[in-house]
Amino acid sequence: NVGPLTNYEVLEALRSRPARPDSESKVCVLCFIRYRFILKYLQRTAAKNQTRKMVQDCAKAFESFDLSVAEVLNTINLRPRSEVEIYTVF
C-alpha cells in the first residue's frame, strides 16, 4: 500500500500496464471492462494534462497551509480555476 494517490498517479499506473483479458473467463473480462472504464474516466479529468512535476509542485505549494491529505488530493484532482471553485473543494 502506497497511500492515497492522485488521479494523475492512477492514470499513469494504468497507462504503464495496459490490461488485456488473458482468458475468456467472465471475471477476467469484467476486470478488463472496469479497467477501460476507469481509464476513459481519468482521461476526461485534469489528470490527462498533468505531469508528475506539476503534481509534486502543487503538493509542495500546499505544505504551508493547514490542509488534510484529502483536501490536497481533491484540489490537485479537481484543479479549480477560480476562487468559487476552490470553496467547493473545502
Residue range 48-72: mean pLDDT, rounded: 93
Residue 61 lies in a domain: yes
Residue 87, SS3? Answer: helix
Residue 67 lies in a domain: yes
Q: Note the pTM of the prediction, 2 decimals.
A: 0.79
Q: How many domains does the chain have?
A: 1
Residue 2 lies in a domain: no
Residue 34 lies in a domain: yes
Q: Are 12 and 39 in contact (CB under 8 A)?
A: no
Q: State the residue range of the domain holding 41.
A: 7-89
Residue 66 lies in a domain: yes
Which amino acid appears at position 58 of this protein? C
- pLDDT, tens digit (0-9, with 9 covering 90-100), for 3-38: 899 999 999 998 887 767 666 666 677 888 888 999
